[in-house]
Structure 1
Amino acid sequence: MSVVTVQLGQCGNQVAHELLDVVWSDAQKKPSRAASCERFFHHNTHGELVARAVLIDMEPKVINQSLSRAAKCGRWRYGEDSHFSQKQGSGNNWANGYCVHGPRHRDVVEELVRREVERCDRLAGLLAMMSVAGGTGSGVGAYVTQCLRDIYPTSFILNHLTWPYRTGEVIVQNYNSVLTLAHLYQLSDAILVHENDTAHRICSQLLNIKHISFSDVNKVIAHQLGSVLQPALTADSHGVYSRNPLGELVSALACHPEYKLLSMCTIPQMPSSSIAYSTFSWPGLLKHLRQMLISNSKMEEGIDWQVRPPAGSGRSTSLTGSSFNTSLANLLILRGKDVYSAETGGFEDPALYTSWLSSKEAFSLWKSPVSFNKYEKSATLVSNSQALLSPLNDMVGKAWNMFASRAYIHQYMKYGISEEDFLDSFTSLEQVISSYRQLC
């Protein structure tokens, strides 16, 4: 089954390009190369590998760069009729993207997606990739997701969101983020979030990159995404590699419509030059990954080993003040040598999960004996937990403070967004925050 990526805005197009490159590169060493590539590529009449992707931006620069990079690499390319851009962007204004550019170009975007969907023998789902800070990725992205839900009501739609730096990229990024998340929560089957701050720290502290570029950050995100979306063996696949990565991901993790926020972490992550001199064991990797989960540590460095699951009722807190991260559901993906010997019982502990869902239902495991992206052994955890509660609460709080003083509201109202629309979005996300806080 095939996945169609819908790449929206500057960030969405850049991250998606890196993801497709990771998928292609990793597939070359696999015995399941054909099945792996089939998910994201098809062959045209000339035998060339073409991405199952639609590129959308209101400015042409990033799309032109993506098309050029893909053509020059000689490994794969984008389709000639798979992209759409304009000469004028959305001005970092969600309302401009959602109320103006989205409706204005709806027909052409829907046609581009329809063509890609019809090239699939069987559609696994749609992967919409976007940021939440700017205007096109967030505003046009939310509008396009709404259109996709109307056209493909029974298909899986997974939105991948790049969360902005907390220190700020755009003055109104918190407004844009609130409006985006509130709308997507009604439309998407699941929302997978990557935080720029976390990816930046991985580049600096784990990969030892001195001068970090957006490309470096995007590659970290793409590596983690690729580790999930490559074929794997699931509990009920009977030795056959999984066919529908989006459907199985959503089924495993988003079992309740009030809980759709997914986070992820991957180990190990290190410079390519260090991999040959490093050895990994499954007990060591899984011990670190489990502690990263319960202490809400996003990478191996700085794990709080004092956090423990609560013995009785209430939340556990360490001496350093970190509180226990309760999970609704977790998906563990193991890839590499001796994968069938890995003991994963630590992730089946009922103490990790909410009391109203059994650990057997809450925990899912995928495995593949084939290594991923040069690592002999690697483990990825996709979690529906309280991990995103702090950044979400922080973002909503900052947006509310701006709204209380009516800062920049007129910039949204002139495109058709009212104060009531803002209030509805705040209400929606405050309910999400409340729901995740009550996980116990």
Structure 2
Amino acid sequence: MWQRPIYLRQLGKMSIITVQLGQCGNQIGGQFYSTILQDIHSKKTQVTTQINDAYVEESTERFFSKMPARNSEDEILEARSVMIDMEPKVIAQTCQLAKRSGQWRYPAGQQFYRKRGSGNNWANGFCFYGPQVRNDVMDMIQKEAEKCDHLGGFLIPMSAAGGTGSGLGSYLTGCIRDDHPNAFILNQVVWPYWTGEVIVQNYNALLTMSHLNRVSDALLVMNNDSLQEICSRRLHIKQVAFTDLNKVIANTLASFLQPANKALTSQPIRNCFSEMFKQLAAHPDYKLLSVWNVPQVAEQVMPFNCDNWNGLLKYLRQMQLVNSATDEGMNWSVSTKDATLSQEIQFNRSLASLLILRGKDLPQADTSAFQDPKLYVPWMTLGHRFAMWQQSRAFCHYERFAAIVSNSRHSALPLDHVIQKAWDMFSAKAFFHQYEKFGLSESDFLDSFASAEQIVSNYLQL
């Protein structure tokens, strides 16, 4: 019988440091900070100036440092971020885009890069580059941490398929855990396309998930195929680029990391990581999180959007139930009505869920459907199954916006697929020599298979 860990109450505004890893992580990080500022400057929705100012102050302190601007008495916002890549191009581009905005910038000297990448090889990033760059990178992270009055945790966007993001990202996540044992860590992992991005992506994803599961507090996995579906079907983007996918990721992250209050007490959530992990990832065997949100509409359609809470929450619940990326084309025949204690569960059953509502008319939102006991495993106690945060202020120009973060059964399905593909390659020793030359042994692979298979087994029993 497991016991829920004790989380210490910390006072004051909490800050989150983003450790941007590889091309994917740096591009997501840049878009994330732009989205935060877009939300800060969005229109107000039936809130007082006091509420709006408090929201802006809380958000700014959480993600930025205020620094004096050059040749001006004004202040400029500096992202609480460390940028890491084995090639300089993407870091330079991301820093330049931030500077051009005139609203924010990255801190000087908090960028680490080399001239050559990791060649899409997890072992190259983990075994070779990791020990080489550890001291320099951890000094940068420590410098950023010392700027925070209260360090709430680390957000680490990274890819599961490449070499730097996955391999070096896994290594540095372990280093952050060693150097900051009391800080919370959320790894936001971008899952590769099913059709393939690099030939060894299954090896990289397998090794990444098995290692991160040991040191991270939670892993938020976002699938490129699901992101592509949102962009093409709901945002009506004809030629979807990685920039479009990154905007969806950034919007999703901001939807639950921006300031909110506890629904019943209206008490501000000071450390969103602490409260979220206490609710969703308190059990050490279940760390995989998924997010669904509504509405999903193109920017040009937004002024004409007139959703109500009943419709939004109806679609959001079904998206969670059938694990659908969008609110189009869902299987509405799937429900919890016929659920029994049988192991044959047809819907996406959860360990726990966190619902976040943002916008006007919050008292009109009926959230009872999300509290259905059949949605959750029977051994999870009633008070720990479901929690709700809310914020009466608009979110990125949406009058009403809902997101649900869940630790659920279907979170492990992408990993199960990767394990099968990786086993096929490993049985034939395909490309194994590329990992072996950097010091990764056959037993290391077998340990990762065993760890990943245990994760999948745990989730499939929910």
**TM-score, length basis structure 2:** 0.92
Identify the residue that residue 286 of structure 1 maps to in structure 2.
Answer: 313
Tell me, in whole angstroms, the C-alpha distance in 2 between the residues paired with 1:82 and 1:398: 38
CA contact (8 A) 1:14 1:62 kept: yes
Tell me, in whole angstroms, the C-alpha distance in 2 between the residues paired with 1:278 and 1:95: 48
In the TM superposition, structure 1's runs of 4+ consecutive aligned residues that sit over 3 Å from their partners are: none
Matches within 5 A, 1:176-195: 176-195=204-223
CA contact (8 A) 2:288 2:412 kept: no
Identify the residue that residue 431 of structure 1 maps to in structure 2.
Answer: 454
CA contact (8 A) 1:315 1:324 kept: no
Identify the residue that residue 9 of structure 2 maps to in structure 1.
Answer: none
Matches within 5 A, 1:398-413: 398-413=421-436
Deviations 1:310-347 (A, max 9, x none): 43222667xxxxx3111001110000011132111111
Which residues of structure 2 form unaligned runs of 5+? 1-13, 43-51, 70-74
Percent of pairs identical after alignment? 49
Matches within 5 A, 1:203-242: 203-235=231-263, 238-242=265-269
1:390 to partner: Cα distance: 2.0
Deviates more, 1:306-315 or 1:369-378: 306-315
Deviations 1:9-37 (A, max 9, x none): 00001111111111111012443211111
Tell me, in whole angstroms, the C-alpha distance in 2 between the residues paired with 1:109 and 1:311: 50
CA contact (8 A) 1:316 1:324 kept: no
**TM-score, length basis structure 1:** 0.96
1:308 to partner: Cα distance: 1.2
Matches within 5 A, 1:227-376: 227-235=255-263, 238-309=265-336, 310-314=338-342, 323-376=346-399
Tell me, in whole angstroms, the C-alpha distance in 2 between the residues paired with 1:164 and 1:44: 37
Q: Secondary structure at the match of 1:105?
A: helix
Identify the residue that residue 49 of structure 2 maps to in structure 1.
Answer: none
Tell me, in whole angstroms, the C-alpha distance in 1 between the residues paired with 2:248 and 2:58: 24
1:197 to partner: Cα distance: 0.5
Tell me, in whole angstroms, the C-alpha distance in 2 between the residues paired with 1:220 and 1:385: 21
Matches within 5 A, 1:35-54: 35-46=58-69, 47-54=75-82
Which residues of structure 1 form unaligned runs of 5+? 318-322
1:387 to partner: Cα distance: 2.1
Q: 2:21 aligns with which of 8, 26, 44?
A: 8
RMSD: 1.2
Identify the residue that residue 414 of structure 2 maps to in structure 1.
Answer: 391
Amino acid at match of 1:49: L
Amino acid at match of 1:437: L
Deviates more, 1:276-285 or 1:255-264: 276-285
CA contact (8 A) 2:229 2:325 kept: no
Deviates more, 1:78-87 or 1:358-367: 358-367
Higher relative contact order (CA 8 A, sep 6+): 2
Instruction: Give the length in aligned residue pairs.
Output: 433
Identify the residue that residue 380 of structure 1 maps to in structure 2.
Answer: 403
Asked if 1:99 corresponds to 2:127, the answer is: yes
Tell me, in whole angstroms, the C-alpha distance in 1 between the residues paired with 2:156 and 2:436: 27
CA contact (8 A) 2:252 2:293 kept: yes
Tell me, in whole angstroms, the C-alpha distance in 2 between the residues paired with 1:239 and 1:36: 17
Matches within 5 A, 1:7-86: 7-29=20-42, 30-31=52-53, 32-46=55-69, 47-86=75-114
Residues 364 and 68 of structure 1: CA distance in aligned 2, closer, same or farther (over 3 Å): same
Amino acid at match of 2:288: L
Tell me, in whole angstroms, the C-alpha distance in 2 between the residues paired with 1:389 and 1:115: 36
CA contact (8 A) 2:125 2:163 kept: yes
